[in-house]
Amino acid sequence: MIDSILYEAESKMAKSVDHLEQELATIRTGRANPALIDRVTVPYYGTPTPLNQLAQISAPEARLLVVQVYDRGQIGAVEKAIRDSGMGLNPASDGQVIRVPIPPLTEERRREYVRMVKQRAEEARVAVRNIRRDELHQVQQGEKAGEIPEDQAKRAGERLQRITDANVGRIESIASRKESEVMEV
């Protein structure tokens, strides 16, 4: 029972860390990254659809994204969605592909992005701690019900704390790496 609780906790915490990595990939740095506009939603025949399902996104240069829309009739809608995404991007279309130049970030904008990185990292840390709390509660319930001996429950709590610390450490390293990417000129 304890092993299944710890395995479940580790799995949930890993998912939280993976989610953080996906969230941070959408935050702009000085370089072009296709993940930057992956989640831009485009109204595709009345249904909001993520851009990565409607087009191929590539970064042939450090400051340029190229979007090849599968359905050429949607080029205007994709261009408008990128422009309205709130990322300060100004796409240009030649009828075949959409080119999205990535302008250099101002110092103020970089600091704003660093704040966003810190906020998302804190949300991930809170999620990991909540998972620890929930799983520890399960261990304590098992102990109260007499299914788990007291000494095993204590060891499970310590192992759960080590798992939590390891995941919080991963979150810290991911966040600091992203912060240095954002601040890099």
Which CATH number do you get for residue 66? 3.30.1360.40
Average pLDDT in the 117-138 region? 95
pLDDT at residue 125 above 80? yes
- pLDDT tens per residue, range 39-54: 889 998 889 999 889 9
CA dihedral of residues 178, 37, 33, 112 (deg, nearest 10): -30
Q: CA–CA separation, 140 vs 58, rounded Å?
A: 50
Q: pLDDT value at position 141?
A: 92
The single-letter code of the amino acid at 1 is: M
The domain in which residue 42 lies consists of 34-101
pLDDT of residue 68: 93
Count of structural domains, the chain: 2
Give the separation between CA 21 and CA 19, rounded to whole angstroms. Answer: 5
30-34, 55-59, 74-78: least confidently modelled range: 30-34
Measured distance CA(7)–CA(138) in Å, rounded: 13
Task: Tell me how far apart the alpha carbons of residues 156 and 159 are, in angstroms, rounded to a whole number.
Answer: 5
Instruction: State residue 70 phi and psi, 5-degree precision.
Output: -70, -40
Report residue 117's pLDDT band, with 50, 70 and 90 as the boundaries.
very high
Residue 81 CA to its chain's centroid (Å): 20
Among residues 154, 139, 173, 174, the alpha carbon closest in space to that of 9 is found at: 139
Q: How do 92-93 and 55-61 pair as beta strands?
A: unpaired
**Residue linked to tokens 């704040």:** 115
Mean pLDDT calculated for residue range 114-138: 95
Whether the per-residue pLDDT at 106 is higher than 90: the answer is no
Which of 62, 86, 101 marks a domain boundary? Answer: 101
Domain end call among 82, 101, 120? 101
Burial of 109 (0-12, 13-18, 19+ CB in 10 A): middle
Domain boundary among 77, 101, 125: 101
User: Looking at the structure, do residues 110 and 72 belong to the same domain, yes or no?
Assistant: no
Amino acid identity at 66: V
